[in-house]
């Protein structure tokens, strides 16, 4: 299975999501994450990568490029296909990372953890497997920053910090 990433106009991304999901052999998704909003004291869902549409398909690069060209006016809103060295498919490491972070609904859920000697220990959630990559945690915003680059940005994830091990 290959994963491709399309940079789209924000106002048209939902329409493109539906168009791609109506095609056979293609699954489109928009990764979301739980984020704590301190002013409202609640968790909301936000897009992890605003403006990006992810596509899962068995098509190789040439087949996918041809597929996009043949979509004609249905592709309205696509700004560009993200490509590295003429290949836009995500690497196996990037796919593994997404598969470990996101649940079946392509949602990055909040993790829970606590600090021991300045080190973050994750007791539950998707960050448990990536604990060693956490470089900082903002307790007020309930956000962890990881030393992992994804789409040219440091990866961030929600984490609820507790006073001690429960």
Domains of the chain, residue spans = 2-101, 110-162
pLDDT reported for residue 78: 94
DSSP assigned state of 84: B
Q: What tens-digit pLDDT sequence spans the chain (166 residues)?
A: 999 999 999 999 999 999 999 999 999 999 999 999 888 889 999 999 999 999 999 999 999 999 999 999 999 999 999 887 666 678 888 999 999 999 999 999 999 999 998 899 999 999 999 999 999 999 889 999 999 988 888 999 999 998 866 5
pLDDT reported for residue 87: 62
Query: Quick check: pTM over 0.75?
Result: yes
- DSSP state string for 26-58: EEEE--EEEEEETTTTEEEEEESSTTEEEEEES
Query: Alpha helix locations (H) across the chain?
Result: 13-21, 61-70, 92-101
Cα separation of 144 and 157, whole Å?
Answer: 5
Q: Report domain 2-101's class.
A: alpha beta
- Three-state SS at 127: helix
Cα separation of 11 and 14, whole Å?
Answer: 7
């Amino acid at each position: 299975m290959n994963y491709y990433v399309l940079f789209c106009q924000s106002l048209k991304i939902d329409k493109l999501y539906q168009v791609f999901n109506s095609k056979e052999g293609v699954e489109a998704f928009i990764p979301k994450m739980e984020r704590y909003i301190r002013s409202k004291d609640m968790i909301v869902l936000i897009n992890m990568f605003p403006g990006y549409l992810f596509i899962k398909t068995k098509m190789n690069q040439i087949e996918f490029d041809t597929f996009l060209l043949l979509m004609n006016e249905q592709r309205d809103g696509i700004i560009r296909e993200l490509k590295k060295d003429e290949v836009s498919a995500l690497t196996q490491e990037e796919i593994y990372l997404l598969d470990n972070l996101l649940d079946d609904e392509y949602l990055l859920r909040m993790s829970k953890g606590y600090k021991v000697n300045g080190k973050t220990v994750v007791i539950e959630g998707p960050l448990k497997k990536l604990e060693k990559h956490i470089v900082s945690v903002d307790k007020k915003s309930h956000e962890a920053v990881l030393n992992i680059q994804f789409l040219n940005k440091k990866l961030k994830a929600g984490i609820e910090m507790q006073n001690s091990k429960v």
